[in-house]
Amino acid sequence: MWWFLSNLWRKKAHPASVQFLFEKLGPGEEALKDRLLPILRADKSVERAYLAAVRFGDGDERGVALCLRHRKKPNLGLIAKASSAFAIIFSSDQRLDVIVLTPGQEQDLQSVCKPFYEASLPEPSNQ
């Protein structure tokens, strides 16, 4: 399942394909990651988060995507908060897509991008 968010507008879409191009780096991207970290830490549904340049389908159009690997069902409130963080830093003519990754997509993404957030693994219980 894919969830995309362009600024504060949500829609459910199923693009033909997504190509993960490279990790998005730069001052604006680092500021966004800094704003996203407390949001991600407060939300227990996200296992890992990436910020990547992507291309959808067969076209030449590229975009930036917040790519999330969830432990459980995606939290739409989290996606709205991420969009708000993006809107504070970037101009209104730019957009952030949010992709909820499948295991196969995450494997493809990891070949070109490192996670900027990774939830702590639970400590083993002494039973």
The CATH number covering residue 38 comes to 3.30.300
C-alpha–C-alpha distance, residues 42 and 37, integer Å:
9
Report pLDDT for 125.
53
Q: How far is CA 35 from CA 18, 28, 40, 100, in A?
A: 26, 11, 9, 19
This prediction's pTM? 0.80
Over residues 98-118, the mean pLDDT reads: 94
Whether the predicted pLDDT of 77 surpasses 90: no
Over residues 64-71, the mean pLDDT reads: 92
pLDDT digits (tens, 9 = 90+) for 89-107: 988 888 888 999 999 999 9
Residue 61 located in a structural domain:
yes
Residue 123 located in a structural domain:
no
Residue 65 located in a structural domain:
yes
Name the residue range of residue 79's domain: 3-118
Whether the predicted pLDDT of 5 surpasses 60: no
| Structural domain total, the chain | 1
- Mean of pLDDT over the chain: 81
